[in-house]
Amino acid sequence: MKVLVVGSGGREHAICWKMAQSPEVDKIFCAPGNGGIEIEDKCSNVNITDICSLMDFALREKVDLTVVGPENPLVEGIVDKFRGSGLDIFGPSSKAAMLEGSKIYSKNFMKKYGIRTAEYAAFDNIDNALKYVETCSYPVVVKADGLAAGKGVTICKNHGEAESALNDSMIKDVFKGAGKKVIVEEFLQGVEASILAVTDGNTIIPFISSKDHKQIYDGGIGPNTGGMGAIAPNPYCSREVLQDFKENIMLPTLMGIQQEILDYKGIIFFGLMITKKGVYLLEYNVRMGDPETQAVLPLMKSDFVDLIQASLSGKLSDFNLEWEKGACCCVVAASKGYPAKYETGFEISGFKRENNIFAAGVKGEDGVFKTSGGRVLSTYGTGGNLKSAVKYAYENLKKVNFKGMYFRKDIGK
């Protein structure tokens, strides 16, 4: 079986690593991939990014299955194009991908199907938005409607900050078109959680919970990043929290997918806030999260390829998804200066599979691995409990080094 994985980060490395374990898989192409992915058995990179070229490659190489990592190709319709050419691909159609592609569409979907979420108002006119924030209780959250590479969310503590966020988004266009429309949302106080789930449109199965650590500095302070580490399962996701999530968020979402006749055979990511009033849905992602994927997949006992095939064939209801007992911790090592300005091109020592590494901003040059991005790599550890998983993740990180390497020291603690 030949597999094509679309994407280039740590999430895609984790997906390739997990799929390579399946006895059904003979070869995995990652497009465009990164230098570190090629340390995995059966894996090689293909320097292709545009959808038409990816489809031509899949047809030419007789690829049996394509898995899409990032959100942009999904919103742009890669699934529709591949399926139109008779190719098996795991992910939602472009219409279904609007659950992530448009915050306004997503929030209206939640409201329509009774999915518990924060109160909000949507705007495509700056004057109306500015009048609205004059009457708000603070803090509020201003969100760009479109895809903004995870940077379109601003928590505003007062009216001045809200005005500034609206002007940046709608007038200055700092999100390059993604923020011409916005939502202004009630601020929720609580603990964040992430739950990935797989659906075939008729059945939905949740994965184990996880918790991302977004801020750059220890203690959860400083600017947001793409994620500085993750743990699974999330210790705040009690049995009661998970039941609340299923009843008030997950199952109504599946009903909405069915009622809207959305072609959805793929992963749906629920970004949650656990509050004193219950579990609220912050956002959908229509793909696997990063770095959550790097903490969840090491605990998946079932064959990931079998799970994907069950979704594509509409047989998820017959699939028994199994997990290893215990916990996993993933710690991200970043370039000095990230998420602002940083340098690249530094040699990485200790880059070996036995150190439980997933690569993100890594390139290979003549057998030498060098940094090529802000989030460079992560190491993970598994154990019988969270404390031991954290210990092993940091022990693995000690075996790796590059100039200016920075990481949080409190992931999972």
CATH number of the structural domain spanning residue 155: 3.30.1490.20
Q: How confident is the model at residue 327 (pLDDT cuts 50, 70, 90)?
A: very high
Query: Are 393 and 370 in the same domain?
Result: yes
Give the model's pLDDT for residue 322.
98
Q: Which of 292, 318, 344 is the last residue of a domain?
A: 318
Give the model's pLDDT for residue 340.
94
Q: How confident is the model at residue 336 (pLDDT cuts 50, 70, 90)?
A: very high
Give the model's pLDDT for residue 76.
97
Query: Are 29 and 78 in the same domain?
Result: yes
CATH number at residue 282: 3.30.470.20
Rounded to an integer, the average pLDDT of 194-202 is: 98
Query: Are 223 and 271 in the same domain?
Result: yes
Rounded to an integer, the average pLDDT of 4-25 is: 98
Length of the chain: 413
Query: Are 52 and 140 in the same domain?
Result: no
Task: Determine, yes or no, domain membership for 30.
Answer: yes
pLDDT in tens, 202-249: 999 999 999 999 999 999 999 889 999 999 999 999 999 999 999 999
Task: Determine, yes or no, domain membership for 222.
Answer: yes
Distance CA 132, CA 140 (A): 11
Query: Are 236 and 333 in the same domain?
Result: no
Query: Are 200 and 314 in the same domain?
Result: yes
Closest by Cα among 272, 251, 254, 250 to 264: 254
Task: Determine, yes or no, domain membership for 143.
Answer: yes
Query: Are 142 and 169 in the same domain?
Result: yes
Distance CA 99, CA 115 (A): 13
Q: Which amino acid is at 358?
A: F
Give the model's pLDDT for residue 18.
98
Query: Are 254 and 358 in the same domain?
Result: no
Q: Which of 283, 318, 353 is the last residue of a domain?
A: 318
Closest by Cα among 280, 340, 316, 22 to 151: 340
φ/ψ of residue 410, rounded to 5: -125, 20
pLDDT in tens, 155-165: 999 999 999 99
Chain CA centroid to CA 84, Å: 26
Query: Are 303 and 334 in the same domain?
Result: no
CATH number at residue 381: 3.90.600.10
The answer to whether 115 and 281 are in contact (CB under 8 A) is yes
Which helix (DSSP H) or strand (DSSP E) does residue 10 occupy?
Answer: helix 10-20
Asked whether the predicted pLDDT for residue 82 surpasses 90, the reply is yes
Task: Determine, yes or no, domain membership for 63.
Answer: yes
Using alpha carbons only, give the angle 3, 45, 332 rounded to the nearest 5 degrees. Answer: 100
Query: Are 203 and 249 in the same domain?
Result: yes
Rounded to an integer, the average pLDDT of 332-352 is: 96
Rounded to an integer, the average pLDDT of 187-193 is: 96
Task: Determine, yes or no, domain membership for 407.
Answer: no
Give the model's pLDDT for residue 150.
75
Q: Provide the domain count of the chain.
A: 4
CATH number at residue 29: 3.40.50.20
Task: Determine, yes or no, domain membership for 410.
Answer: no
Give the model's pLDDT for residue 133.
95
SS3 178: coil
Distance CA 161, CA 167 (A): 10
Distance CA 343, CA 354 (A): 27
Whole-number mean pLDDT of the chain?
Answer: 97
Least confident of 120-129, 147-156, 353-362: 147-156
The answer to whether 227 and 376 are in contact (CB under 8 A) is no
Distance CA 175, CA 100 (A): 16
Q: How confident is the model at residue 367 (pLDDT cuts 50, 70, 90)?
A: confident
**Three-state secondary structure along 73-138?**
HHHCCHHHHHHHCCCCEEEECCCCCHHHHCHHHHHHHHHHCCCCECCEEEECCHHHHHHHHCCCCC
Q: How many CB atoms lie within 10 A of CB 174?
A: 16
Q: How confident is the model at residue 197 (pLDDT cuts 50, 70, 90)?
A: very high
Asked whether the predicted pLDDT for residue 153 surpasses 80, the reply is yes
Query: Are 282 and 376 in the same domain?
Result: no
- Percentage with pLDDT > 90 across the chain: 97
Query: Are 167 and 245 in the same domain?
Result: no
Task: Determine, yes or no, domain membership for 145.
Answer: yes
Q: How confident is the model at residue 101 (pLDDT cuts 50, 70, 90)?
A: very high
Rounded to an integer, the average pLDDT of 5-26 is: 98
Task: Determine, yes or no, domain membership for 413.
Answer: no
Q: Which of 180, 207, 222 is the last residue of a domain?
A: 180
The four Cα atoms 167, 170, 171, 175 give a dihedral, to 10 degrees, of 100
Q: Collect all residues with Cβ–Cβ distance below 8 Å to 270 and sequence separation of at least 6.
A: 194, 195, 196, 197, 245, 249, 250, 253, 281, 284
Give the model's pLDDT for residue 365.
86
Q: Which residues pair with 204 in a beta bridge?
A: 199
29: domain range?
Answer: 2-93
Rounded to an integer, the average pLDDT of 31-50 is: 95
DSSP-assigned letters across all residues of 228-270: SEEEES-TT--HHHHHHHIIIIIHHHHHHHHHTT--EEEEEEE
Q: How confident is the model at residue 151 (pLDDT cuts 50, 70, 90)?
A: confident
